[in-house]
Structure 1
Amino acid sequence: MVHDDVTAWLLEADPSLQFQVQRDLLDAPLSTWNRTRERTMTEGYGAELLAKQDDDGQWAGGAYFPGANDWQAEPGQPWTATTWSLNMLRTWGVDAAALEGTAEKLATTSRWEYDNLPYWGGEVDVCINAFTLQNGIWLGVDMAPLARWFVDHTLPDGGFNCEWESGSTRSSFHSTLNALYALLAYEQAGLATDELIATRHRAEEYLLARHLMYSLSTGEVVAPWVTNFLAIPRHAYSALRALDYFRLASEHDRTSPDPRLAEAVAMVRSKQQPDGRWLNDHHLPGRVWFEIDEPVGEPSRNVTLQALRVLRWIDDAQ
């Protein structure tokens, strides 16, 4: 499959992916890809998920987990509650205008399952707070107190770990990457202080020192999930997802790709199939509103888009 055929295959997807193909691979004018992006509010995945919203502004009656506890015997965790639904809508490019009034409703009605804390203040988990920070920026909430939380909860090695409250002092690839996406979003919105910018760069160095893949102590790939590419990654780390973060950060900072990304880039290249696509390597089990990712072992549009735009960034820089 030549590149044109892969592009045509990608463009057969939901508008939430089409606009990214137009923007990131085809260099379409803003007016073109923005028209496609606007369709996410009225058709496809975006419209379907918007229709699932509760009258009180939540989804499934809960902040991070559904309000009803009937999911506990099911495999994995549910992905239907408010935070996960907001994450998907934001990732799909849905305009905040489609959620008018949601931020105010959540401030009044939604509480975290941890200690019944108010929604926009976050709680103790790094990844949950990272998602909340990004969703708050998107919906126009003043997130300065939660942004500051990340400065105060950086670990000595420069990264983050959701287990810090249990005493962990070693950072996690997963937690650090989720925090980085949030810190970059805050900075892209023009809100970051010098201290927050320095916090982001320290966390980047945590991953770069490990070349996005390796344990410092053993020099080996830290775990199989590093090389497992997910169509819907949710909270999970992969070297590909990390590379896509560094692509965004490089464009924001106007810097060249760090040489320490080379091994991860080579791994991404090695996983391209003869037909030019990449596969969905793994699926995170749990209740969903509707299925949106391809079966494990099948070509994935989301993974292929992410891989192609990362490699385009690297190749253009060279």
Structure 2
Amino acid sequence: MAADPDVLEWLLDSDPVLRWQVERDLAGAPPSTWQATRALVATQGWGARLLSKQDADGQWAGGSFFPAGFFGSAEAEQPGQPWVATTWALKDLREWGLDAAALAGTAEKLAANSRWDYNDLPYWDGEIDVCINSYTLAGGAWLGADVSALAEWFPAHRLADGGWNCEAEEGNSTRSSFHSTLNAVRGMIAYERITGDTSLGDARRGGEEYLLSRRLLYRASTGDAVGDFTLKFVYPNRHRYSALAALDHFRDVSRLDGTQPDPRLGDAVDVVRGARRSDGVWLQGAPLPGRTWFDVDAPEGEPSRWLTLFGTRVLDWWDSADR
């Protein structure tokens, strides 16, 4: 299902952080074209704008996961959380395709200056939350930090049912979570792609099997839908699971491992296809509450370029597979 020409033109009329992916994944542009657009991320648009928010000590908003002064403030009483601190900025910039050279020296600055809100732990050591650790693993690999010890954390903290849960380390759960498991495997595949270290392959594929065995949507115990969150698409999705986010990961897996789509993804594909409007676009869902540096997608209920990119490339991958 190639993008409609009008939709493709609309997608290409976008910020470099999105446009280079449209050129590569949907428009069939040669590498020289999309790589040139990707190089603009450091100097134009949202990438340059977010880079300009970095503090002299290497952080954003003065903090690792939450901004400085957050706890005990009026903002802490509001729904959601701020999305402006270091971990979220690095996650966005990495996923937007920024060349790590634009952040030269940042890994060292964070090692010296940034500590986790949990137990004042050193930044590149990670902490106890699997989602936080997944972002840190990927970000550290990208920036050239030594995160080999953090990589070992993932297989050691995998739960008996195959995945991970951010609540497990506090003793609040022994069952894996769709959200946590997807974040874990996404962090691990980014680490593997960047470093070439395949030592996490078994743990990653075990987490992926946890999701596949549930067809990305259902409880293992009853076969019922795990929750309507799987059907709600939004960008930025931050930590939130959805059928679309999971399918985009499995497309990534297919590209890295050289595998065809697993047939168990079919129900989730139907969900994504059903959310596509007749004009070929997907609508923005309800944004996660909390302060941001600036908007990077459409308001709720409006056509979303990001979701349309993800949805179109997932369906293209699925529909073109040799099954």
**TM category, shorter:** over 0.9
Paired position in structure 1 for 2:85: 81
Question: 1:277 aligned to 2:281?
Answer: yes
CA distance in 2, matches of 1:187, 1:73: 38
Contact 2:142 2:194 in 1 (8 A): no
Deviations 1:76-115 (CA, angstroms, capped at 9, x unpaired): 1000000001111111111111111110000000000000
Q: Give me the identity figure in percent.
A: 57
Contact 2:47 2:96 in 1 (8 A): yes
Contact 1:231 1:301 in 2 (8 A): no
- Specify whether residues 119 and 225 from structure 1 end up closer, same or farther in structure 2 by C-alpha distance, changes over 3 A only: same
How far does residue 192 in structure 1 lie from its aligned partner after superposition?
2.9
How far does residue 133 in structure 1 lie from its aligned partner after superposition?
0.4
Contact 2:115 2:123 in 1 (8 A): yes
Paired position in structure 1 for 2:124: 120
Paired position in structure 1 for 2:28: 27
Question: 1:171 aligned to 2:172?
Answer: no
* CA RMSD of superposed structures (Å): 1.1
Q: How many residues align?
A: 316
Structure 1 residue ranges, 4+ long, deviating more than 6 angstroms after superposition: none
CA distance in 1, matches of 2:35, 2:109: 28
Paired position in structure 1 for 2:7: 6
Paired position in structure 2 for 1:185: 190
Secondary structure at 2:303 match in 1: coil
Question: 1:17 aligned to 2:18?
Answer: yes
Matched to 2:41, the amino acid is: T
CA distance in 1, matches of 2:38, 2:260: 29
Contact 2:141 2:195 in 1 (8 A): no
How far does residue 315 in structure 1 lie from its aligned partner after superposition?
1.1
Could you state the TM-score of these two structures normalised by the residue count of structure 1? Answer: 0.97
Using the TM superposition, name which of 113-122 and 276-285 deviates more. 276-285
Paired position in structure 1 for 2:48: 47
Matched to 2:18, the amino acid is: L
CA distance in 1, matches of 2:105, 2:197: 25
Paired position in structure 2 for 1:63: 64
How far does residue 136 in structure 1 lie from its aligned partner after superposition?
0.4
Q: 1:157-306 maps to which residues of 2 (within 5 A)? A: 157-167=161-171, 168-194=173-199, 196-306=200-310
CA distance in 1, matches of 2:192, 2:212: 20
Matched to 2:194, the amino acid is: A
Paired position in structure 2 for 1:103: 107
Unaligned stretches of 5+ in structure 1?
none
- Specify whether residues 81 and 267 from structure 1 end up closer, same or farther in structure 2 by C-alpha distance, changes over 3 A only: same
Secondary structure at 1:244 match in 2: helix
Matched to 1:262, the amino acid is: G
Secondary structure at 1:189 match in 2: helix
Matched to 2:232, the amino acid is: N
CA distance in 1, matches of 2:177, 2:77: 28
CA distance in 1, matches of 2:196, 2:272: 33
Matched to 1:177, the amino acid is: L
Matched to 2:189, the amino acid is: L
How far does residue 193 in structure 1 lie from its aligned partner after superposition?
4.2
CA distance in 1, matches of 2:77, 2:201: 42
Contact 2:20 2:35 in 1 (8 A): yes
CA distance in 2, matches of 1:47, 1:111: 25
How far does residue 166 in structure 1 lie from its aligned partner after superposition?
2.2
CA distance in 1, matches of 2:231, 2:56: 40
